Structure 1
């Protein structure tokens, strides 16, 4: 069986605004996006998918351009909704949702719900692009929640160590995770 390689790409740095769909990369994020494009230059990518959030799209634009591909937007790869309203203490809110998989803040998604959303879309990618190499522009929490479905070593501690951007290549045979390699240094 031919391996499928999924490059999960956490978006580069963006300047916070409450507009999740429109928030763009910061100057540092744009510089890191150029470095990321360079790092991925010698990797043959068959498809580029992204969260519909601008910061994720902008992060993978160079990869799409280098491979002469259109970016396909996948709503399910958007970041987990932590709460309907901005939270007072982000760190406490993150601790609460990671401590109890079913817990969610008002208007937010639990780890269970966000993981289910991400994994369903991820499995669709594995089936649609079997044996191919796919880059997915996404977000830290959703990325780690999806990875944790395949291996529970990926948790909130792992999430805290992620860079912006960050890239992990997940190698699959069918739906079985065979290897995880960090690409970003």
Structure 2
């Protein structure tokens, strides 16, 4: 019988323990960015902008803010496509305020931010309310802020809180941040 090499047991645990420590650090660091991002108090603005995607609840949040007259105009990024029948409720229904929908080109947050810049320049917007889902708030603030020189009020629509979704959002939003950091300008 061969005697175990001294320290072998300890070495076997180093990698799993190191991975556990890294995962814990990532979870703690990501908490204020992806789970509890900075949202801003509401105040009147020139426009409400709802960033696209699913689930659709964020569009309801934007409509409710417009109904409450936080801004005279609602701009919706129909990133699921203008031919999406569910978007008809938002884009093709008459409201007592102006509603405009657009497809971002490219279909990314950056594409949405570029369209926001064009609309802001044309409309003279100095302050906008931006609605997106909770894990996307911080990254959206960064990307939209690179294209829009005015004041941003960021609002989070509710999103899933289950661990699998949260883990996916950590990965997806972190990758999106890394991409955004490598891009210059708007």
Q: Above 0.5 in TM-score?
A: no
Query: TM-score scaled by structure 1?
Result: 0.33
Higher relative contact order (CA 8 A, sep 6+): 1
Query: TM-score scaled by structure 2?
Result: 0.33
Structure with the higher helix share, 1 or 2: 2
